[in-house]
């Protein structure tokens, strides 16, 4: 257990005689734990204890949650306590967005949650000392690692450079940093973002693309959600949806490049490995399917996946 039961009960002001049941949500180092607490009077509380193996990430999750709670942001867990560097969060009763059939209205709620997050005037979390070009260097994407031929790489190189320029001109600011399907809880007409370890300064449309490409929706559904996001942010709907489709290719390729390392790190954890494989399959399918009419996106797809 990440923290001792007695410490948890004391921090939550619960009776020492309460029963504590712990279920690890993975075997990899830093996996969160679901804790069900049953009090002597018949009450019950479900919390999630999260402490990354990386101290900076664990502290970032705590700092960001604290600020979000203080600002009344309704789409994040409530931080109940901090014990020896572990965040104790009130767990919402929803399903991971990795589920095959999202509850009705929940995907729309998740997009609304992202739009609301990106609109917060917060300067919290990681990477605020960096600029967009610092985050996304002008360097050759190692597409050979994904099996593309020399001819394909030469054709697509200037197109990816154009996509990078589009990325640098897109909205940057406070963002989640990793809102893939495993970090979004869905319930009927509602959603909650979790795991703010990577939150801070970054590309807000990358946030949106990460969610849309890993939720497992058809291209038309992804475009409708991108339009909804743009309207919520006061952006031009059609051009923003096209931009999200283009930037999704960049985001998806970058995720494919780091997948082998993540699978090695998850070795032995069947649940995490299965989740990574599902996310990877959705990304691979999503970036091949147009959810917009941006010419550069169409040329990249023709060059790599014709």
* CATH number for position 283: 3.90.1200.10
Q: Do 156 and 291 sit in the same domain of this protein?
A: yes
Give how far the C-alpha of residue 230 lies from the chain's centroid of Cα atoms, to the nearest Å.
19
Residue 206 has pLDDT above 90, yes or no: yes
* Domain of 144, in residue numbers: 95-305
The CA-based angle 94-98-100, given to 5 degrees, is 95
- From 90, 119, 152, give the residue that closes a domain: 90
Q: Do 232 and 262 sit in the same domain of this protein?
A: yes
221-275 tens-digit pLDDT: 999 999 999 999 999 999 999 999 999 999 999 999 999 999 988 888 888 899 9
45-59 tens-digit pLDDT: 999 999 999 999 999
Q: Could you give the percent of the chain with pLDDT greater than 90?
A: 86
Give how far the C-alpha of residue 229 lies from the chain's centroid of Cα atoms, to the nearest Å.
16
Q: Do 203 and 289 sit in the same domain of this protein?
A: yes
- From 90, 114, 140, give the residue that closes a domain: 90
Q: Do 148 and 86 sit in the same domain of this protein?
A: no
b/e sequence 168-194, b meaning 16+ C-beta within 10 Å: eebebbbbbbbbbbbbbbbbeebbbbb
Q: What are phi and psi of 44, to 5 degrees?
A: -145, 140
**Rounded CA separation 26/298 (Å):** 39
Q: Is 12 exposed, middle or buried (0-12, 13-18, 19+ CB in 10 A)?
A: middle
- Please report which confidence band the pLDDT of residue 81 belongs to, taking 50, 70 and 90 as the band edges: very high
* Maximum alpha-carbon separation in the chain: 70
Count other Cβ atoms within 10 Å, centred on residue 138. 9
Q: Do 127 and 212 sit in the same domain of this protein?
A: yes
Q: Do 204 and 138 sit in the same domain of this protein?
A: yes
Q: Do 257 and 271 sit in the same domain of this protein?
A: yes
Q: Do 228 and 108 sit in the same domain of this protein?
A: yes
- From 60, 90, 120, give the residue that closes a domain: 90
**Number of separate domains in the chain:** 2
For residue 103, give the DSSP letter.
Answer: P
Q: Do 57 and 103 sit in the same domain of this protein?
A: no
* CATH number for position 45: 3.30.200
Residue 29 has pLDDT above 80, yes or no: no
pTM of the model: 0.95
Q: Percentage helix, strand, coil, to 5, in the chain?
A: 50, 15, 35
pLDDT for res 102: 87
**Rounded CA separation 43/63 (Å):** 30
Q: Do 278 and 294 sit in the same domain of this protein?
A: yes
Q: Do 80 and 206 sit in the same domain of this protein?
A: no
Q: Do 133 and 237 sit in the same domain of this protein?
A: yes
């Amino acid at each position: 257990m990440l923290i001792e039961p007695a410490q948890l009960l004391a921090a939550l002001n619960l009776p020492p005689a309460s029963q504590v049941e712990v279920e690890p949500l993975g075997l990899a180092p830093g996996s969160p734990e679901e804790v069900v607490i049953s009090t002597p009077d018949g009450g019950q509380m479900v919390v999630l204890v999260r402490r990354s193996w990386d101290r900076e990430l664990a502290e970032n999750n705590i700092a960001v949650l604290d600020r979000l709670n203080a600002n009344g942001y309704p789409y994040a867990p409530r931080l109940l306590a901090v014990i020896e560097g572990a965040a104790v969060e009130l767990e919402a009763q929803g399903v991971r967005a990795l589920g095959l059939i999202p509850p009705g209205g929940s995907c729309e709620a998740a997009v609304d949650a992202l739009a609301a997050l990106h609109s917060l005037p917060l300067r919290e979390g990681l990477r605020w000392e960096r600029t967009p070009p610092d985050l996304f260097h002008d360097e050759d994407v190692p597409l050979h690692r994904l099996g593309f031929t020399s001819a394909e790489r030469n054709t697509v190189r200037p197109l990816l450079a154009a996509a990078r320029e589009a990325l640098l001109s897109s909205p940057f600011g406070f963002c989640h940093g990793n809102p893939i399907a495993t970090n979004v809880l869905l319930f009927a007409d509602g959603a909650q973002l979790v795991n703010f370890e990577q939150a801070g300064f970054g590309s807000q449309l990358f946030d949106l693309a990460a969610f849309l490409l890993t939720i497992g929706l058809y291209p038309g559904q992804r475009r409708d959600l991108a339009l909804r996001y743009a309207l919520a942010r006061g952006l031009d709907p059609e051009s923003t949806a096209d931009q999200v489709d283009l930037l999704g290719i960049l985001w998806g390729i970058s995720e494919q490049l780091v997948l082998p390392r993540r699978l090695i790190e998850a070795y032995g954890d069947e649940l995490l490995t299965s989740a990574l494989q599902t996310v990877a399959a959705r990304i691979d399918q999503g970036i091949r399917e147009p959810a917009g009419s941006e010419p550069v996106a169409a040329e990249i797809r023709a060059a790599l996946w014709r």
